[in-house]
Homo-oligomer: A and B are copies of this chain.
Amino acid sequence: MVAQHANALTTITDKLQSLGILDQSDRDALGSLVFTVNTAPANHDLVRQGEAATSLQVLLDGYACRYKITAGGARQIVSFHLPGDILDAQQLLLGSADHFVQTITSATIGVVPLAEFRRILKLRPNIAEALWRDTLIDASIYREWVLNVGKRDVTSRIAHMLCEFAFRRENAGLGPPERCELPMTQHQIADATGLSAVHVNRVLHELARNGLIAADKPEVKIVDWSQLCRIGDFDPSYLHGAA
């Protein structure tokens, strides 16, 4: 438990340090944070639309996604999340959540009481700036997703999604994009790309036939990274170095 806590602290500090310049006082403030470590099973909602947050959640291990649903019940995943990602920074300043956050795999989450974190923000503007920068990068990623879902043909669209995930996974220190395994189901890929699961299946097979990926069941593995980036029209500059 102590080891887990130390680990969690490192994760948060590393994340914020990658987003802005922190001095020793900033790191001390982060070190003084009171927080707990929770675990959640796969497909478990961590944030529910309409609810106000009482804490700040940081993904420490496992994968998650954000999603929204239409009145008709159709679900659209709007982003994927990796260890180190802050899952509900928006609740720091906005009222209730406008979307859901759900685990994809089983996950461990660092939970900081909201009042506690707000206190730190007031005292340490560097930390607030780092979080603002994180929000700006999130917004940039959403823009790319609007483009991806709106204008790319299906092969390119799925390839782009895979590239983004593999790239961010590497940035988060989880291994190189080559031989990257993906934790999500084809149904989840469909929800993220605005397609049907059936069609995702066909396109993945097409990509596999062309030697870009390999079905390393039950997951998918990237074989030809540079080709996949070309097909997927993937240029990571929109990530602005995001972890």
Which B residues lie within 8 Å of A146 (CB)?
A: 68, 76, 78, 142, 145-146, 149
CA A89 to CA B233, docked complex, whole Å = 26
Distance (whole angstroms) from the CB of A66 to the closest CB of chain B: 7
Q: Judge if A179 is at the interface, Cβ distance under 8 Å.
A: no
Residue A75 is within 8 A (CB to CB) of chain B in the complex: yes
Asked if A138 lies at the interface with its beta carbon under 8 angstroms from chain B, I say yes
A100 to chain B, nearest CB (A): 11
Q: Within 8 Å of chain B (Cβ to Cβ): is A136?
A: yes
Using CB atoms, name the residue of chain B closest to A91. B136
Closest to A68 in B: B147
The secondary-structure label for the interface of chain A is helix
The digit string for A135-165, where 1 denotes a CB below 8 A from any CB of B, is: 1111110111111011110001000000000
Closest Cβ of chain B: how far from A197's Cβ, in Å?
14
Which chain A residues numbered 60 to 81 have a C-beta less than 8 Å away from chain B?
Answer: 66, 68-72, 74-76, 78-79
Number of copies: 2
**Chain B residues with Cβ under 8 A from A89's Cβ?**
136
Size bracket, chain A contacts:
35 or more
A87 to chain B, nearest CB (A): 13
In the complex, A66→B238 CA distance in Å? Answer: 14
Q: How far is the CA of A125 from the CA of B147 in the complex (A)?
A: 34
17 contacts between A and B (CB under 8 A): A66-B143, A68-B143, A70-B147, A71-B233, A76-B150, A78-B146, A93-B129, A98-B140, A99-B143, A128-B128, A128-B132, A132-B132, A135-B135, A145-B146, A146-B149, A150-B193, A151-B194
Q: Is A240 positioned at the interface, with any CB of B under 8 Å from its CB?
A: yes
Taking CB atoms, residues of chain B closer than 8 Å to A194 are 149-151
Contact in complex: B132, A76 (CB < 8 Å): no
Q: For the complex, give the distance between the alpha carbons of A90 and B169 in Å.
A: 24
